Structure 1
Amino acid sequence: MQKRTSDFEYTHDITILSRKNVIVLHTLLWSIFIVLLLYTILPTITVRLLYLWVYKKKVTKDGIALTFDDGPDPEFTPQLLDLLSKYQVKATFFVLGSKAEKYPDIIQRIHQEGHLVGIHNYVHWTNACMTPKKVRKQLTDSVEAIEKIIGIKPIYYRPPWGIINVFDLFLVKRFRLVLWSLMVKDWRSKGGIERIKSNLLAKLQANHIIVLHDSGQTFGANRDAPQYMLEALDAFLEICKQRSFTFLPLDTYLLLLQVKKRAPSRLAKKFLVFIWLKWERVFNRLFNIRPIDVDNQIFYSRVCKYHGKTIHLGSGEELSSGDLVIELHFNNEKLHQLITESNSMFQLAVKMKQDVQSFLPTLAQHVHLLPEKVKAIYGITMIHRGSRQLGFTVTELPKGLFSKLTQLYLKMLLYVLHPNGKDRLKLKSELLSPRIATISTEELYNKYAVSVEPIPIPEHAISIS
């Protein structure tokens, strides 16, 4: 009988351990997804969908930008240069720094024949899998290698596979990021010459930036693919010559043309807002962030431990690391509605102050009914006008990586949710600096818990993260 009890306890312990492992694995996978989303997926989608900070398509009707990635290649790049010379076409080569060092004579020939030399990283690694420091080293080493050969610092940059990370957005001060508007998958041999030529002709427009590849040595490429590309390009250029198309390197485009800074289309903007709000629903569910009042969902919240520097509250109390707080999050669907209905940031601040003021009594009653002893209400916001008048202590975020990432995230949020978000971002940076807004629960209750009827507290709203 004793043995059976022990077996049951052992099996029970194993079951609990297995559940814990599943929870840990689930949390780990979600954490990896969130990191990838913020680090590379959202920045890449943003620049591609909204044409932000990159050159992707020109507005001229009189020229095509022909670009080549992954070279130089000792076998195919000289053949390509002969072909371009035959048709008197000037192009842009986004080269790998390591290959430039290995084949300096080819880089020198590219430059001497009037083509533009740009950067495609030192080796063909995606920026999504590299730290910001590693990306900077890739670019610095490439610049030094190319400048040593042709005497000019390259300023045009195309990240491998067109994928960036969030820190690459700071590179726009040093480089001009260039993507493409037409790709024909010429790195594959399947389908041969006809597939590449027909794809080029079927999708050809006079204002395209076309990307082709003069090397088949990168991951996923066929080694002999550039040979098919060269033969297809020969036939393509002959047809373009008959149609009187003009080809120019990218720097010539930018000298002759004023690049149109297009505002994103209303459809693209709506799509981005839709994706952003859907993602936030997943985020809230993952971290158990729920509405306090289902009838007035301006705020979502969770009970968690505060981690940060000590904050001196207006009531004379101190909020220290490890104290329990209610962490407030704006319901961004409601925020989007308020932003859309406001004519200015000032009007938005007034509306938000009114909504927050009407919500605070409910929040005070919620705090009073919680079984845990919560020290303060805590939130990070970029719209903090009027917070002090409501009793909140407003402090700056400590400088560091978290502060920079928070500011970048909130600016992206403003860009996405505000119809004129791009113009809003041109305001002085101090007006768009995130702040910590905090109020002690004691002060909140003393100020706002007056003549408030008890409200039912949903079971899911009482949780400690």
Structure 2
Amino acid sequence: MEIILWIGFYFLTFYAFLPALISRIFGFRVFMRGKSKTEIALTFDDGPDPEYTPKLLDLLKQQGAKATFFVVGENAERNPEIISRIHEEGHILGIHNYVHHSNWLMRPRTVKRQIHRTSDVIKKITGSRPMYYRPPWGIVNVFDYANLGYLQIVLWTSLFSDWRKKIGPDKLYRRMRQKLKPGQVFLLHDCGSTFGADRDAPANTISALERILDDGRQLGYRFVGIDEMIEITERAKKKKNSDHRTARKSTMKSSEGEEAAVPRIGPLKKVIVSLWMAYEKIFHVVFRLRPVGSGHFFNYRIRRYSGPPLDLQGDQTLRSGDRIMEIHFENQMLFDLGMNSKSTLQIGIRIIREMEKALPEMARELAVAPNGDQVRALYGVSMIHRGSESLGYKTFELPRGLFAWTTNIYLRVLMRVIHPAGNQRVREKADSLNPRMLIMPRDILLTWANDDRAKRRPVRERATKSDAAKPSNQGAETQELVSHFEEGSIGKLV
């Protein structure tokens, strides 16, 4: 059952949910919001409709407004004269698939065929192919980024549920009026024949839009096609970047000799980080992770171990089917830790301290966690190869297979994300970056539950005891652990 959950989880996450989330939150590979002083973009989906689209075109012509029509291919094929009119009157034509189906429910090849077929229909009518694409419901899948590189994906800033007739023109107008600002990309509909829409809902849209166009003209706004909005936005971005470069040069000259600030992350890294954070949130929900203490650094779940037998200590053996407490690092805190640290050494020291702080809380969680009384060991996967024994862990090689391979890739991506010089570390230390299982037997974990035990920063604190021989060895052990971080191992319990 868990295998089925994993397959479904990965499919929904990486094929469907995350691409849509990243596009919507970060605007990755999509145009969503303009940067303009007076312009607003009107966009209409699902048409053309033989009754309502001509009425809408009459209104736009009367008001001197331009718009963008993301048309459904089969509707365009049935109404070529309307497509021709849209083009001749200076509006922009875009693609909205050949049929109004979600990209999440279609294979990448099917989506590609839908788009090409619609493009062919529009070219046959107008003589030119469209450059813009809006997927139905704004939903993209992971392959759309690669397959649709020649098209600009366009989303929106505001939609108003205008496909529902019961809203009425007055309420629809008030909703639109609240969003009437420069840079907005309005999503409206000129056809009510798609699934979930009301057939005559576009009548309300046209009525409300007439008042909006009047208001916009009085405010000095212009209603433009998406092509002009994108062009204006690109000019604004170039000017802003130019101003930033000038300001940066000035700052560098005035602060010559001072230590450089932590570099800002680039667009690609932002995408990776956002995917990583979204993945974590979904994983937490699907597999019901629980927080350790405040949950700022660690989460856990109780599950059954499914690997080969592992000899722990004495005659203890962890076998497949035994329950384990699986620890997961909180990604947001790990990222903040990496971005606010100047070196791997600082990251390593902080991780060591946080693990020591959390171990008593992990031990106490066994008393309240479901099936906690059956847990045989604390379990995690990390790139820390040495030094974890000082906390009570025993390390084991990951068994070769799909899990080890994917974990290795994930942890290397992680290092690139959180490490100040992650790319260089991965290139230089590739051979030594091999994740291992870290296992702490239950009886050792339970000793951490005793607050009277001198264990916080155990190596350093025990150095104050009367036995002078131990502090030297343990101090060396701590130095070995810290040095290991410096040698290229960022810990990540997954």
Give the TM-score normalised by the residue count of structure 2.
0.60
In the other structure, the counterpart of 1:84 is 60
- Would you say the 8 A contact 1:381–1:435 is kept in 2? no
Shift of 1:68: 0.5
1:72 and 2:100 aligned: no
Matches within 5 A, 1:85-124: 85-124=61-100
- Would you say the 8 A contact 2:388–2:394 is kept in 1? no
Matches within 5 A, 1:139-288: 139-171=115-147, 173-258=149-234, 260=237, 276-282=279-285
How far apart are the structure 1 equivalents of 2:103 and 2:89?
Answer: 31
- Would you say the 8 A contact 2:385–2:436 is kept in 1? no
- Secondary structure of the residue aligned to 1:65 is strand
- Would you say the 8 A contact 1:367–1:374 is kept in 2? no
- In structure 2, relative to structure 1, the CA distance for the partners of 1:343 and 1:436 (3 Å cut) is closer
- Secondary structure of the residue aligned to 1:45 is helix
1:43 and 2:41 aligned: no
1:60 and 2:36 aligned: yes
- Would you say the 8 A contact 1:155–1:174 is kept in 2? yes
Cα shift readout 1:111-143 (whole Å, capped 9, x = no counterpart): 111001011111111111111111111111111
In the other structure, the counterpart of 2:409 is 381
- Secondary structure of the residue aligned to 1:190 is helix
- Would you say the 8 A contact 1:184–1:199 is kept in 2? yes
How far apart are the structure 1 equivalents of 2:143 and 2:349?
Answer: 34
- Would you say the 8 A contact 1:65–1:247 is kept in 2? yes
Matches within 5 A, 1:301-380: 304=306, 331=329, 333=331, 335-343=334-342, 356-359=384-387, 361=389, 366=394, 378=404, 379-380=407-408
How far apart are the structure 1 equivalents of 2:53 and 2:226?
Answer: 19
Shift of 1:374: 7.6
- Would you say the 8 A contact 1:365–1:454 is kept in 2? no
How far apart are the structure 2 equivalents of 1:299 and 1:357?
Answer: 21
Give the TM-score normalised by the residue count of structure 1.
0.63
- In structure 2, relative to structure 1, the CA distance for the partners of 1:243 and 1:440 (3 Å cut) is closer
- In structure 2, relative to structure 1, the CA distance for the partners of 1:204 and 1:435 (3 Å cut) is farther
The alignment-based identity, stated in percent, is 34
Of 78, 97, 101, 1:125 maps to 101
Cα shift readout 1:261-293 (whole Å, capped 9, x = no counterpart): 9999xxx9999887554434446668xx999xx
How far apart are the structure 2 equivalents of 1:339 and 1:302?
Answer: 32
How far apart are the structure 2 equivalents of 1:63 and 1:117?
Answer: 19
How far apart are the structure 2 equivalents of 1:299 and 1:381?
Answer: 22
- Secondary structure of the residue aligned to 2:394 is helix
Cα shift readout 1:213-234 (whole Å, capped 9, x = no counterpart): 0000011100011112112212
How far apart are the structure 1 equivalents of 2:145 and 2:65?
Answer: 32
Shift of 1:96: 0.9
- Would you say the 8 A contact 1:58–1:208 is kept in 2? yes
- Would you say the 8 A contact 2:14–2:142 is kept in 1? yes
Matches within 5 A, 1:295-306: 304=306
- In structure 2, relative to structure 1, the CA distance for the partners of 1:344 and 1:166 (3 Å cut) is farther
Shift of 1:344: 7.2
Cα shift readout 1:76-98 (whole Å, capped 9, x = no counterpart): 11111111111111111101112
- In structure 2, relative to structure 1, the CA distance for the partners of 1:278 and 1:185 (3 Å cut) is closer
- Would you say the 8 A contact 1:290–1:302 is kept in 2? no
- Would you say the 8 A contact 2:18–2:279 is kept in 1? no
Unaligned runs of 5+ in 1: 1-23, 307-325, 385-409, 445-451, 459-465
- Would you say the 8 A contact 1:120–1:158 is kept in 2? yes
In the other structure, the counterpart of 1:456 is 444
- CA-atom RMSD, angstroms? 4.9
Shift of 1:48: 1.0
How far apart are the structure 1 equivalents of 2:80 and 2:431?
Answer: 51
- Would you say the 8 A contact 1:118–1:154 is kept in 2? yes
Unaligned runs of 5+ in 2: 241-265, 309-323, 353-381, 447-494
